């Protein structure tokens, strides 16, 4: 049996006792246990699901001090950020509890029989939703609470009636095990099977691939790198019985800033942008990796303002040494691809310095390497000759979680062209502020065309995240006992 070690983010030293990696037999057992728990949980009421989700939120809050301290050691994200993230996690759990309690997973369309011959006449039809089955959930590195063991994927899957088997992230193993211990205590207290929420762990690809391949698993949910997500999606599709794989992957989140708004409030926007680039050491899926400027004196001035705002900022250490090494490689690839550095201070310290570079639009459009995500505090400024070329830059991006448009408040041909291009490539289009920060709300869309996600019609954040784990079924001339269940699966 191989062993795993948690790493203290600030020092790079091992933290705590070694942990055992899950064996193939243990991965299989977790999937089988989830499959055994599925029928009863799929048939549970919204009130039963809500009771579990609220108890899980209470358990997190009851162990807040210990959880945040441990998360800070493993991630260096700081207690302020981590307390806020824990609050978001409990908010998500309770929000999905309310969604389940109010009957959203059991919503149905009742289409009574119509007498006569087709096509006007038809039998009685009821269209409802059923849970997919056990979900393989892959924790993210950069959100040790909100996109991890009890994050939004777990909360929405449980609310939909699906058991979950979690693949813990190696960046916060001790925290994951502590949270998983809380889950098991809650399940025991409520008389629910331990297999309703399982967890496996391990380095490399073997554990995750085996989990996705297991025939008891009915769907996958992933937040992480494009490379890792694409590999798991391929595994999900190659199964004898393929399953849906909901991956939220890499994104460069372009921001287009028009000259008029920069002339009016460039200094303030530069400060705002610098904070977004370095927030969480740039380890956000919505970090603004590309800034598109239209040639103009106001744009020239903004580049200087952004440099001045970024230069004194000192991000905290990255989550893992591997991520730090990947950031350094990514920065060098940008330079090799033609980006001219404006701020570039290589350092051997655990915390990187912000990176800012500039390139002309034609070079950016021609070079795929310049459009790859660099996970960390970096941004490439793309200089476009006009709005038409800025639209071409967006089209070259292909797919992004977000696009931000500064200065499109007044309707015009150019504004419409930018909005149309932004909506074509992104799941969320902003007209103010910065893309970092994703609200958990009814209208949220966190997912976009490839490579930002594997299923652009779905979201991993917000109320609609629950629908990923439900499948529609039509019941024709159903007996009264079945329709009396009001959408709750048998």
Catalytic residues, by residue number, are 248, 285
* β-pair type (3-7, 14-20): antiparallel
Decide if 275 contacts 310 (C-beta within 8 A). Answer: no
- Span between the terminal Cα atoms of the chain, in Å: 41
Query: What residue ranges in 52-134 does DSSP mark as E strands?
Result: 109-111, 125-131
Closest CA to 382 of 427, 344, 395: 395
Selection from 434, 423, 156 nearest residue 282 by Cα:
434
Cβ atoms 225, 265 nearer than 8 A? no
Closest C-alpha to 145, from 121, 179, 119: 179
Decide: helix, strand or coil at residue 87: helix
Strands, E, within 11-76: which ranges?
Answer: 14-20
DSSP symbol at 348: -
Contact yes or no for 211/217 (Cβ under 8 A): yes
Question: Phi first, then psi: what are they for 289, rounded to 5°?
Answer: -80, -15
- 3-class secondary structure, 17: strand
Beta strands (DSSP E) in 60-144 are 109-111, 125-131, 135-138
């Amino acid at each position: 049996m191989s062993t795993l070690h948690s790493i203290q983010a600030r020092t790079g030293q091992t933290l705590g006792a070694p942990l055992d990696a899950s064996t193939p037999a243990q991965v299989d057992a977790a999937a089988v246990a989830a499959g055994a728990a599925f029928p009863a949980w799929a048939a549970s009421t919204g009130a039963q699901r809500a009771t579990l989700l609220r108890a899980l939120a209470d358990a997190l809050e009851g162990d807040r001090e210990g959880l945040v301290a441990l998360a800070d050691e493993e991630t260096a994200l700081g207690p302020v950020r981590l307390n806020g993230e824990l609050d978001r996690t409990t908010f998500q759990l309770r929000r999905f509890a309310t969604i389940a309690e109010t009957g959203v997973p059991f919503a149905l369309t009742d289409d009574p029989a119509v007498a006569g011959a087709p096509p006007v006449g038809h039998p009685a039809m009821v269209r409802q939703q059923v849970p997919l089955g056990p979900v393989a959930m892959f924790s993210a590195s950069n959100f040790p609470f909100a996109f991890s063991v009890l994050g939004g994927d777990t909360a929405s899957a449980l609310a939909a009636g699906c058991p979950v088997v979690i693949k813990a992230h190696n960046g916060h193993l001790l925290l994951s095990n502590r949270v998983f211990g809380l889950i098991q205590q809650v399940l025991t207290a409520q008389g629910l099977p331990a297999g309703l929420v399982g967890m496996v762990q391990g380095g490399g690809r073997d554990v995750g691939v085996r989990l996705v391949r297991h025939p008891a698993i009915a769907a996958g949910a992933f937040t992480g790198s494009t490379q890792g997500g694409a590999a798991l999606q391929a595994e999900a599709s190659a199964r004898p019985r393929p399953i849906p794989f909901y991956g939220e992957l890499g994104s460069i989140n372009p921001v287009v800033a028009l000259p008029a708004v920069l002339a009016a409030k460039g200094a303030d926007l530069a400060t705002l942008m610098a904070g977004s680039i370095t927030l969480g050491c740039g380890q956000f899926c919505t970090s603004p990796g590309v800034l598109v400027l239209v040639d103009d004196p106001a744009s020239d001035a903004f580049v200087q303002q952004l440099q001045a705002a970024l230069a004194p900022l000192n991000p905290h250490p990255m989550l893992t040494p591997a991520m730090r090494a990947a950031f350094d490689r990514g920065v060098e690839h940008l330079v090799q691809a033609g980006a001219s550095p404006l701020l570039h201070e290589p350092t051997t310290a655990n915390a990187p310095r912000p990176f800012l570079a500039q390139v002309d639009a034609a070079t950016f459009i021609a070079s795929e390497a310049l459009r790859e995500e660099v996970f960390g505090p970096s941004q490439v400024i793309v200089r476009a000759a006009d709005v038409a070329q800025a639209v071409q830059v967006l089209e070259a991006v292909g797919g992004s979680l977000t696009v931000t448009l500064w200065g499109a408040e007044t309707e015009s041909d150019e504004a419409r062209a930018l909005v149309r291009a932004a909506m074509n490539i992104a799941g969320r289009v902003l007209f103010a502020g910065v893309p970092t920060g994703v609200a958990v709300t009814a209208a949220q869309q966190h997912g976009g065309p490839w490579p930002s996600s594997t299923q652009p019609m779905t979201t991993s954040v917000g109320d609609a995240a629950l629908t990923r784990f439900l499948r529609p079924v039509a019941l024709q001339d159903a007996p009264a006992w079945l329709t009396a269940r009001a959408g709750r699966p048998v």
